[in-house]
């Protein structure tokens, strides 16, 4: 038996042997396999940073011509003229930010309400079905929301919601709710985005609320707090940065969402204060114009828009992950 052990050429030890009298040479079947296996999984893991780097490089390279030609003015100019070869992404940038902001304003309170409902108040029999339905919101493809938006949401906003906001509530006096109700509009984009990001915000918020240690909750309840006071005073402050992370994660989704927005926002290269007016987002600009790009500069300008979108969502996502990660560290202590 011992002969057999020693006959096996040296293999890879999992830990350092005490005093390696000599360098281990030769390769045993097991050790060789282990090295290949370890190499394969490490290589797979390295694919993730490599992919991100490759995307960054490819898009930067493709957008370089436009970024170089227009410089910082690319972000501030409103001209998008393929005849004069002048390209500026300001309306799309503006539209991206405003539609996402509207979406956050609409979705955040609702999503928080759902998260609190599911993590605290819901009776057991309602919890699973409601959680399932809200999760399902995230499963519906973007293009289907767009389809529904074109045929249901936009007409509904035009005939009911916009006149109601403008005339009945007299919000028409403010610049945000004035002007003719076209239908396809920044408001429509904001509403559809709100529906689409709601499940993401609510899922993360729910998770961080559930992660609040029992001791925190019980301490508050033991002081005579009602369940709401316990939530407001103990659980929500504890989960605060995680919830913020969830909201920012939703923001990241909204910034990059393409199809549904393209189908309902009206696609007009103009900055308008009124939410009733059509607009553009960076993603919808790319989706609409890419196949029709007439020149190298035009194509490069679209790539540059993609570059801006990439950088913005990258930063937003990294920030969100950092916040969620920080909460999970705090709650684990």
Count the helix, strand and coil residues of the chain and give each as a percent rounded to the nearest 5. Answer: 75, 0, 25
The CA-CA-CA angle for residues 257, 172, 98, to 5°, reads 20
Query: Scanning residues 1 to 30, which ones bind another protein (CB under 8 A)?
Result: 1-2, 4-6, 8-11, 13-22, 24, 28-30
Q: Dig out the tokens for 45 from the structure.
A: 């893991």
Are 194 and 106 spatial neighbours (Cβ–Cβ below 8 Å)?
A: yes
- Shortest gap between Cβ of 179 and another protein (angstroms)? 24
Total residues contacting another protein (rule CB under 8 A)? 113
Query: Scanning residues 260 to 299, which ones bind another protein (CB under 8 A)?
Result: 263, 283, 286-287, 290-291
- Shortest gap between Cβ of 83 and another protein (angstroms)? 23
Told to check if 302 binds another protein by CB under 8 A, we report yes
Told to check if 173 binds another protein by CB under 8 A, we report no
Q: Dig out the tokens for 275 from the structure.
A: 């939410």
Told to check if 228 binds another protein by CB under 8 A, we report yes
Binding segment (CB under 8 A) for another protein, from list 84-92, 213-221, 227-235, 272-280: 227-235
Per-residue HEC secondary structure of 47-108 comes to HHHHHHHHHHHHHHHHHHHHHHHHCCHHHHCCCEECCCCEECCHHHHHHHHHHHHHHHHHHH
CA atoms within 13 A on the CB side of 52: 9
Binding segment (CB under 8 A) for another protein, from list 70-78, 142-150, 212-220, 236-244: 142-150
Binding segment (CB under 8 A) for another protein, from list 114-122, 203-211, 215-223, 270-278: 114-122
- Shortest gap between Cβ of 178 and another protein (angstroms)? 27
Member of 88, 91, 95, 146 binding another protein (CB under 8 A): 146
Measure the N-to-C terminal CA separation of the chain; round to a whole number of Å. Answer: 50
Member of 68, 128, 152, 294 binding another protein (CB under 8 A): 152
Told to check if 202 binds another protein by CB under 8 A, we report yes
Member of 81, 105, 109, 237 binding another protein (CB under 8 A): 109
Q: How far apart (Å, rounded) are the C-alpha atoms in residues 297 and 224?
A: 67
Are 157 and 187 spatial neighbours (Cβ–Cβ below 8 Å)?
A: yes
Q: How far apart (Å, rounded) are the C-alpha atoms in residues 188 and 252?
A: 19
- Shortest gap between Cβ of 32 and another protein (angstroms)? 9
Binding segment (CB under 8 A) for another protein, from list 86-94, 115-123, 163-171, 215-223: 115-123
């Amino acid at each position: 038996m011992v002969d057999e052990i020693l006959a096996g050429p040296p293999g890879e030890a999992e830990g350092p042997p005490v005093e390696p009298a000599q360098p281990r040479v030769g390769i045993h079947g097991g050790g060789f396999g282990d090295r290949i296996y370890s190499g394969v999984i490490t290589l797979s893991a390295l694919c993730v940073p490599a992919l991100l780097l490759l995307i960054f490089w490819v898009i930067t390279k493709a957008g370089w011509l436009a970024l170089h030609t227009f410089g910082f003015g690319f972000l501030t100019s409103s001209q998008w003229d393929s005849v004069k070869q002048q390209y500026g992404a300001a309306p799309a940038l503006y539209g991206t930010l405003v539609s996402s902001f509207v979406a956050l304003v609409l979705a955040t309170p609702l999503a928080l309400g759902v998260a609190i409902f599911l993590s605290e108040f819901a009776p057991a029999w309602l919890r699973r079905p409601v959680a399932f339905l809200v999760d399902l919101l995230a499963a519906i493809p973007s293009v289907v929301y767009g389809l529904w938006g074109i045929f249901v949401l936009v007409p509904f906003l035009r005939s009911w919601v916009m006149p109601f906001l403008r005339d009945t509530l007299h919000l028409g006096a403010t610049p945000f709710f004035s002007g003719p109700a076209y239908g396809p509009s920044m408001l429509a984009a904001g509403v559809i985005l709100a529906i689409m990001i709601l499940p993401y915000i609510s899922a993360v918020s729910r998770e961080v609320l559930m992660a609040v240690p029992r001791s925190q909750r019980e301490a508050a309840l033991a002081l005579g707090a009602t369940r709401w006071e316990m939530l407001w005073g103990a659980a929500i402050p504890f989960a605060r940065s995680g919830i913020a992370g969830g909201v920012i994660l939703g923001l990241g989704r909204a910034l990059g969402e393409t199809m549904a927005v393209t189908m309902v926002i009206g696609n007009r290269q103009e900055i308008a204060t009124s939410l009733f007016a059509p607009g553009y987002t960076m993603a919808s600009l790319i989706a609409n114009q890419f196949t029709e790009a007439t020149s190298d500069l035009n194509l490069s300008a679209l790539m540059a828009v993609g570059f801006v979108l990439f950088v913005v969502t990258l930063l937003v996502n990294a920030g969100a992950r950092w916040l969620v990660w920080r909460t999970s560290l705090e709650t684990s202590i």
